[in-house]
Amino acid sequence: MSDVSSHDLIIFGAGLAGLRAAIEASRQSRGGLDIAVITKNQMMRAHSVAAEGGTAAVMRPDDGDSLELHAWDTVKGSDFLADQDVVDLFVRTMPGEILQLEHWGIPWTRREDGRIAQRPFGGHSYPRAVLASDKTGFFELQTLYDTLLKYNTVHHYNEHFVTSILIDQGAFAGLTVIDMTTGRFKFIRGKALLIASGGAGTLFGFTTYSQTVTGDGLALAYRAGIPLEDMEFLQFHPTGLVPSGILITEACRGEGGFLLNSRGERFMEKYAPQKMELAPRDLISRSEMIEIEQGRGCQGPNGLDYVYLDLTHLGADRINERLPLIREVCMEFNDLEPITDPIPIRPVAHYSMGGVETDINGATAVKGIWAAGEAACVSLHGANRLGSNSTGECLVWGKIAGAEAARYCQSVDALPAVPERLVEQEYNKVFGELLDRKGSENLYDIRRDLRSTMDQYVGVFRTGAGLEKALAAIRGLKQRYAHITIADKSHAYNTNLIHALEVANLLDLAEVMISGALARCESRGGHARRDYPQRDDENWHKHTLAWHTDQGPRLDYKPVTLTTWKPEERKY
């Protein structure tokens, strides 16, 4: 039998949502719960540090902003697929989260009068993105991490890779994990689990995600019998740096940056004359691709043709004060000075609107399991997320789901029994069957082919024929995966084995994403079908659910919650 550890609450992921949940569960229980936070990285290496531009909240109800306006912007931005009760809860909770971080010591950027500064963001009718320079996610994560250190009942499992979520007799039992530093296989049991492991953007080759973001929590929940919701909606951020894909924050446009084509024209005038560069991300990404396809882009390396983001008119002082990270990134990676030269950008895979299906409090279909942050689909974002709502979602549902999971743990007397047969099965699967494979296929060729397939067929614009090719290709890759070789047979720090487990997760998620996109015969938000260019509310105003079967995903649907606004045409 493997090593067994026991905790009350297990938090899978240590980004904004995971750390906020750990703090709230500790506060809720007054330090009475034994909490484990598990991350495959080191703490403070979560991808949340890469969030740059800001966090949306209504901080100026005395100056023209309102909770209703934030809610309307979010619902309209979602192409009317967001659940409106969820949006209402979000906008009401957010101002308190900004002030809570303030009390915990975050260095918010200030206005001259000392009040917290806010900047414009795409799709918002008011400049409500609260900022900490252009390193907002980093400072938020640092503040949460520092706060969490106050609680000595929280145990940190750094560099532990989760291989399965075990459900026994209909309820959560525990996680199987590999301690990457020693190679030891462990079973960590708990009364409850909160999945906060982030999105699935490294399905794509050209992406803003760090290479550690491989959708592990999504894939493991899916295999454990929890449905995934709305996975076809993947956000392409309009400004990925060419050729690396590094995020060039929307704050650049919030501060007044222009988008220019190869002729020097501000082309957004054609597509969103009222909002221009501050239109929602899905609309700008489509506009950029049309400019490039119609020959008004610039030729880039490896097919990465681009347009320009121009900050030169902002001046050195504003760039150095408000966008210092962006200047540093441009200089470091492109040998380019954005004070004097425009930045080459194009749409880039950035964010999963879909995720593990939850209710409004983050609870999943399985007893004892919650999800929060990008890993979850509480359906705040619907078909398209507004910039600066994502870090807010992590804070709000980290708090809500963390408190709910803590209350549940306090109400359950005993830890679940160790499901020894299931643990042994998983051990044999990982360290027997997978590690011992001696096939002819190269794992890294499969990963490369997966990403090029997604880049080619499941991008900003999609077609039925292209999606069918992609689905056939992914199923072919799954067959090839059965014949990989893991060259490294050791246990300690076997990154070859970890990569194999990650690729299996990505292949399952690719199949779910493509299946949902192929079935959805309309264009809505981040899902744009050239063969079905219109939104179809009569047939498709509903959420997609994907359930795991041995033959691939089984699709089902559920209604969108409407409380205030009926769907209408989206114009900017």
Give the DSSP letter string of 471-489. Answer: HHHHHHHHHHHTTBB----
Q: How confident is the model at residue 168 (pLDDT cuts 50, 70, 90)?
A: very high
- Over residues 372-395, the mean pLDDT reads 97
Does residue 50 surpass a pLDDT of 90? no
Q: What's the chain's average pLDDT?
A: 96
Nearest alpha-carbon partner for 71 in 82, 60, 61: 82
* Interatomic CA distance for residues 257 and 173, integer angstroms: 51
Among candidate residues 237, 286, 346, 447, the one labeled active-site is: 237
Fold assignment, 420-529: Methane Monooxygenase Hydroxylase; Chain G, domain 1 (1.20.58)
Q: What is the pLDDT of residue 310?
A: 97
Does residue 1 surpass a pLDDT of 60? no
Tens of pLDDT along 103-138? 999 999 999 999 999 999 989 999 999 999 989 999
Does residue 2 surpass a pLDDT of 80? no
253 an active-site residue?
A: yes
| Beta strand pairing call for 343-352 and 234-241 | antiparallel
DSSP bridge partners of 186: 3, 177
- Over residues 495-519, the mean pLDDT reads 97
* Interatomic CA distance for residues 24 and 405, integer angstroms: 10
Q: What is the pLDDT of residue 52?
A: 86
Give how far the C-alpha of residue 459 lies from the chain's centroid of Cα atoms, to the nearest Å: 16
* Interatomic CA distance for residues 476 and 481, integer angstroms: 9
Q: What is the pLDDT of residue 43?
A: 87
Helix residue spans in 37-176 (DSSP H): 67-77, 84-104, 136-148
CATH among 3.40.50.300, 1.10.3720.10, 3.30.70.100, 3.90.700.10 for 238-349 = 3.90.700.10
| Beta strand pairing call for 171-179 and 184-195 | antiparallel
Q: What is the pLDDT of residue 527?
A: 98
* Interatomic CA distance for residues 194 and 375, integer angstroms: 10
DSSP bridge partners of 237: 348
* Interatomic CA distance for residues 248 and 259, integer angstroms: 12
Q: What is the pLDDT of residue 49?
A: 85
- Identical fold at 3-233+353-411 and 238-349? no
State the DSSP code for 117: P
Helix residue spans in 440-566 (DSSP H): 443-457, 464-481, 495-519, 537-540
Among candidate residues 7, 128, 253, 520, the one labeled active-site is: 253
Does residue 386 sit in helix, strand or coil?
Answer: coil
Which CATH number applies to 3-233+353-411? 3.50.50.60
Q: How confident is the model at residue 44 (pLDDT cuts 50, 70, 90)?
A: confident
Q: What is the pLDDT of residue 206?
A: 96
CB 42 within 8 A of CB 159: yes
Does residue 554 sit in helix, strand or coil?
Answer: strand
Q: How confident is the model at residue 93 (pLDDT cuts 50, 70, 90)?
A: very high
548 an active-site residue?
A: no
Tens of pLDDT along 418-439? 999 999 999 999 999 999 998 9
Ranges of each domain in the chain = 3-233+353-411, 238-349, 420-529
